[in-house]
Structure formats: structure tokens, C-alpha cells
Amino acid sequence: MKRRVSQFLILALVSWVFVSCGPKAAQTGQDDADVREFLTHYFSTWSAKDMDGYGACFHEQSRITFVHQGVPQSQGLTDFLHGQKLSHATASVPMTEVPTDMKILRDDRTAQASVRWKLTKGTDITTGTDCFTLVKTSTGWKIVSLVFYND
């Protein structure tokens, strides 16, 4: 019996050491507040047709990739933002996109986020996922990579 208790205590101690000494990349909860705030801002600027604010969410070197039926289609920032402006300008009804779930993995300098979203365009609803890689700059979080797809 003493041996089992000792083994359990050793296992518990070793587990505690691994968890407490692990990388900061596993931060969750309130540590994610700044990333969640940034991502919420990203979606709200797009929905408000604030293309300057939306564009400011991206790092100047970002790449954006849309995955359609397993085939990636990649663009630079200028072309992507132009397409987003045209989408709003030519839409017959207002479009809004809201995050419905966020999963965030981050450390002090970078973050990765998988964000489920819902796009409403009149009575049409589309859902999908945005996969972000963010970098923390002197002015805050910026998107360096966005890979997204529709369901």
C-alpha cells in the first residue's frame, strides 16, 4: 500500500513539474483577452465596412489563402483587401460576419487562432473557419497569415 501511495505521489509530482514548467504557448483563459479583443475588432471592422480599420489588422507582409475544395488560392494583402472592398461595394444587401467560437494558442510574441464564423448576407447564411497566425508588434497584434474556408 505504501508503495502505491509513493508511486502515485511521484507521478503526481512529475506531472506537476511538467505542467508548471511547460511553454507559455499553452496560455488560455484571461491570458487570451487581448487576442480575443483583436479578433473581435477584426470582424467588427469588416462588418462595418471600415476597410481602413480592417486593413490595419494585417501586417504589411501578410499572406491570405482561401481553401476551396481542398485547393489553396493565395493572395497578397493588396489584392485581398481590394477584393474585400469590392465584395461590400457590389453586395445588394449589407453583409455582417461574427465570430462564433475562438480557439487560441499563444505566447508573448505570436498567436495562432482558429475562429469559427457566421456570415449573414440578407437571408443567406454561410459558416466557415478563419485560421490566423498573429504577431505582436509595437502597435499591437497583426495578422501575418490568414487561411480561411467555408463549410
Kindly report, residue by residue over 16-27, the tens digit of the pLDDT: 433 344 444 444
**132 closest CA partner among 119, 117, 148, 150:** 148
pTM of this structure: 0.79
Query: What pLDDT is stored for residue 3 in this prediction?
Result: 55
Query: What pLDDT is stored for residue 30 in this prediction?
Result: 54
Query: What pLDDT is stored for residue 117 in this prediction?
Result: 98
Let me know if 146 is exposed, middle or buried by CB neighbors in 10 A (0-12, 13-18, 19+).
buried
How far apart CA 106 and CA 104 sit, in angstroms, is 6
C-alpha radius of gyration, the chain, whole number:
20
Query: What pLDDT is stored for residue 1 in this prediction?
Result: 55
**Cell representation of residue 99:** 465570430
Query: What pLDDT is stored for residue 148 in this prediction?
Result: 98
Three-state DSSP at 99 gives strand
CB of 61 closer than 8 Å to CB of 76 = no
Query: What pLDDT is stored for residue 31 in this prediction?
Result: 85
Query: What pLDDT is stored for residue 29 in this prediction?
Result: 53
What residue ranges define each of the domains in the chain, with the CATH number in brackets?
Answer: 24-150 (3.10.450.50)
Residue 90 φ then ψ, to 5°: -100, 0
DSSP assignment of 61-130, as one string? Answer: EEEEEEEETTEEEEEEHHHHHHHHHHHHHH-SS-EEEEEEEEEEEE-SSEEEEEEEEEEEETTEEEEEEE
**32 closest CA partner among 111, 100, 97, 98:** 111
Neighbouring CB atoms inside 10 A of 117's CB total 20
Catalogue the E-assigned strands of 2-79.
58-68, 71-76
Give the chain's residues under pLDDT 70.
1-30
